Amino acid sequence: MKVRIEVVLLIWSAPVLAQQASIDSGPVVFRRDCAFCHGRDGGGGESGPDLTRSKLVGDDKGGSTIGPLVREGRPDRGMPAFHLSDEDLAGVVAFLHAQATKAEANKGGRKGVDEADLLTGNAEAGKRYFEQACARCHSVTGDLAGLAGRLHGLRLEERMLYPRNAKSTVTVTLPDGETLSGELVYLDEFTVALKEASGKHRSWRTTDVKYTVSSPAEAHVELLPKYTDEDVHNLVAYLETLR
Ligand code: HEC
Ligand code: HEC
């Protein structure tokens, strides 16, 4: 019995020590390279998911899953590859574990994603939540009709938490007062461009027009800290009925 405990300690102590040494640089590197998308504290931002409740982060042991992901990225899905030094990477890994522990300690917060938990949801309660929090943007007979035919279980939950195809829209007001709306196709300091419903592209100098951008996916990001585990399971149970 005693021997067993020592072996476990040995396995654990190496990554823990490595993380301890570099934990100070973690927040700095994270805020420099990652916060832009994942939020200052890793809790999710406009273009990157909440990492404090990520299953991948939860499964990580001393960089085992975070390391390869960060080094290779998922370029097709908006996660760039980073070439961090071993020390910076260890710092980021330690920072993410610390943030995940904090998030877990938050009362009422979601603890993570577990396939088995998904079966505990109550579809009726999920329906009520949906009508109150989601129905202004979604319709179960419209855009989400047949959703469960395409997505199940964890994939469904993941997509609900972090939708992929959310296009921002922009409304541009021209100097003469005319307003145009469409999908935002480009925006920087100098240029704003949209695609009209007809498919036509139009662009202006930002100094010549007034514009407001609305990013519907932000609604999802804002919802993340509001859900409890139970809310998420109930919602998934309800969405699973949309066949
Ligand atoms: C340009 C935006 C952007 C930046 C910068 C960025 N990420 Fe990401 N990251 C994403 C997106 C988007 C995803 C989700 C990809 C997907 O859908 O599979 C992601 C996914 C991840 C995941 C996997 C989460 C999961 O549960 O699958 C981890 C871990 C991660 N990022 C860590 C980092 C770290 C660490 C940094 C900084 C070194 C970083 N990211 C910088 C956009 C970004
Ligand atoms: C302010 C508008 C808005 C609100 C509120 C909102 N969503 Fe979304 N949702 C979107 C947009 C935009 C997308 C991306 C479009 C897409 O993927 O089809 C999306 C995508 C999704 C997807 C993925 C659909 C797919 O086909 O991949 C699911 C599932 C979803 N939302 C569920 C919900 C649930 C559940 C709620 C409430 C808890 C909610 N949404 C609240 C705007 C919203």
pLDDT in tens, 84-141: 899 999 999 999 999 988 877 764 545 445 566 667 899 999 999 999 999 988 999 9
**Is residue 154 within 8 Å of 233, Cβ to Cβ?**
no
In the chain, the amino acid numbered 197 is A
Tell me the pLDDT band of 217, cut-offs 50, 70 and 90. low
Kindly give, in sequence order, each residue whose CB lies less than 8 Å from that of residue 12, ignoring residues fewer than 6 positions away. Answer: none
CA gap 173, 160 in Å, rounded: 33
Provide the token pair at 7: 């072996």
Q: Ligand 1 pocket test: which of 25, 31, 36, 38 has the largest number of ligand atoms within 8 Å of its C-beta?
A: 38
Please report which confidence band the pLDDT of residue 60 belongs to, taking 50, 70 and 90 as the band edges: very high
- Choose which residue among 37, 79, 158 to substitute to test ligand 1 binding: the one with the highest number of ligand atoms within 8 A of its C-beta: 79
237 CB near ligand 1 (under 6 Å): no
Asked if 103 contacts 52 with a C-beta cutoff of 8 angstroms, the reply is: yes
Alpha carbons 122 and 124: distance in angstroms, whole number: 6
Amino acid identity for residue 179 in this structure = T
* CA of 219, closest atom in ligand 2: 1
How many CB atoms neighbour CB 206 within 10 A? 15
For ligand 2, the distance from its centroid to the CA atom of residue 62, given in whole angstroms, is 34
**What confidence category does residue 8 fall into, taking pLDDT thresholds of 50, 70 and 90?**
very low
Cβ 102 under 6 angstroms from ligand 1: no
Tell me the mean pLDDT in the region 192-206.
91
CB 144 within 8 A of CB 240: no
Check residue 14 and give its pLDDT: 41
Q: Convert 13-22 to b/e letters by CB count within 10 Å (16 or more is b).
A: eebeebbeeb
Six token digits for residue 20: 């301890």
Q: Are strands 179-187 and 191-195 parallel, antiparallel or unpaired?
A: antiparallel
Mean pLDDT of 212-228: 76
What DSSP character marks residue 79?
Answer: B
> pLDDT band for position 188 (50/70/90)?
confident
Q: What is the pTM of this model?
A: 0.51
Nearest alpha carbon, ligand 1 atom 30: 70
- Whole-number Å distance between alpha carbons of 116 and 106: 22
Mean pLDDT on 53-58: 90
Judged against a pLDDT cut of 80, whether residue 76 lies above it is answered with: no
Taking the CA of 156 as reference, the closest ligand is 2
Tell me if 163 CB under 6 Å of ligand 1.
Answer: no
Q: What kind and span of H or E run contains 239? A: helix 229-239
- Amino acid making up residue 232: V
- For helices 25-33 and 86-105, what crossing angle results, to 10°? 90
- Tell me the pLDDT band of 79, cut-offs 50, 70 and 90: confident
Q: Minimal CA–CA distance to 66: which of 52, 45, 47? A: 52
The residue whose C-alpha atom lies closest to atom 20 belonging to ligand 2 is: 163
Check pLDDT > 50 for residue 153: yes
> What pLDDT score was predicted for residue 235?
94
pLDDT of 4 above 50: no
Ligand 1 centroid from CA 10, angstroms? 31
